[in-house]
Amino acid sequence: MKYSFITPRQKNFFSLFTKLWVSFIALMVIFMLTFNFYISVEAKSFKQGVVELTSAREELENKIDKDDEEISLILRQKALCEEIFSNNTLLKESMKNLFDLVPDQITLKKVEMERNSLILYGVAPTQDTFNFLLAAPLKSIFHTSNTTFYLTEEGWYNFVSINKIVGTDGIRE
């Protein structure tokens, strides 16, 4: 007995709509797992990059510290060189002024110049020549000026003139 006019068709367990949704959900799960894997790889790469950048920063900070030390050393050396240059220039001018101060009648044999003192060794024709031509200008420059004379066989006088400047704190240096 037949109750149907058409031959029966085989019925699927899942409908086409269900298959589409299951396929879509499976595709989304695969996409999310792939994205999750990509994010985890990028996170590890980022962490590695952070470690590398941190070590590079520490190296640069150490290099900056070394460079700062070198710069400060160079600046100290520059300041010292400038001080020496200015002292040499001042000494050169002082020596020029000293030799301009010495008259032609007086001959200097030796000059010892220190920071706050000047010792002159030389020969003068008379004590008065020395006192009038050289001792007076020296006394105007230095705070104390002492001269010792020694008579030579030729009748001239050897002299040793010790001239000192009192320090800024009032103590002789």
What confidence tier does 34 reach under pLDDT thresholds 50, 70, 90? Answer: very high
pLDDT greater than 90 at residue 88:
no
- DSSP per residue over 74-126, as a string? HHHHHHHHHHHHHHHHHHHHHHHHHHHHS-TT-EEEEEEE-SSEEEEEEEES-
pLDDT given at position 172: 45
Distance CA 172, CA 165 (A): 7
pLDDT given at position 173: 42
* pLDDT tens digits, one per residue of 3-33: 777 877 788 888 889 999 999 999 999 999 9
CB atoms under 10 Å from CB of 53, counted, come to 10
CB atoms under 10 Å from CB of 106, counted, come to 18
Find, among 170, 146, 172, the residue nearest to 160 by Cα: 146
Indicate the Cα dihedral angle 65, 70, 73, 74, nearest 10°.
-140
Average pLDDT, stretch 121-147? 88
Distance CA 20, CA 148 (A): 125
What confidence tier does 2 reach under pLDDT thresholds 50, 70, 90? Answer: low
Tokens of 32: 């999310």
Average pLDDT, stretch 100-127? 87
* pLDDT tens digits, one per residue of 46-57: 999 999 999 999
